[in-house]
Amino acid sequence: MATSANAANIVSRGLTRTMFRWIHLVFSIPILGYIYSPFDKIPQYATPTRYVFVPIMILSGLWMWKGHVVRRLLSKRSAGGESSYANR
């Protein structure tokens, strides 16, 4: 039983990693369009680029880089929280 749960966890991590990679790539395309667009078109792209595409790209990049640390911290908190309630 533990083997199948571990296999499902690995598939889930692989799928999550692939999804974040694609999100990161797709949201970087409009930023490249913003950078290489003609100068007169830049004001049209400035607001969505500044408030949508860049933050999503930064968050997905940070999650791909340090997401394992966040998952580890959350799993320790949830495990520690359950054991403290069991002791009461």
In tens digits, the chain (88 residues) has pLDDT values of: 556 666 667 668 888 889 999 999 999 999 998 999 898 988 888 999 999 999 999 999 999 999 889 889 888 887 765 554 555 4
Q: Assess if residue 29 is contained within a domain.
A: yes
Total domains present in the chain: 1
Scored b (16 or more CB within 10 A) or e, 27-62 reads bbebeeebeeeeeeeeeebeeebeeebbeebeebbe
Evaluate whether 60 touches 24 at the Cβ level (below 8 Å).
yes
Residue 5 lies in a domain: no
Asked if residue 10 is part of any domain, the answer here is: no
In a domain, 61, yes or no: yes
Tell me what pLDDT residue 10 has.
67
For the chain, what's the residue count? Answer: 88
> Per the domain annotation, does 25 fall within a domain?
yes
Separation CA 45–CA 23 (nearest Å): 19
Q: Is residue 66 part of a domain?
A: yes
Give the structural domain span for 26.
17-87
State the amino acid at position 82 in one-letter form.
E
Residue 71: per-residue pLDDT: 86
User: Whole-model pTM above 0.85?
Assistant: no
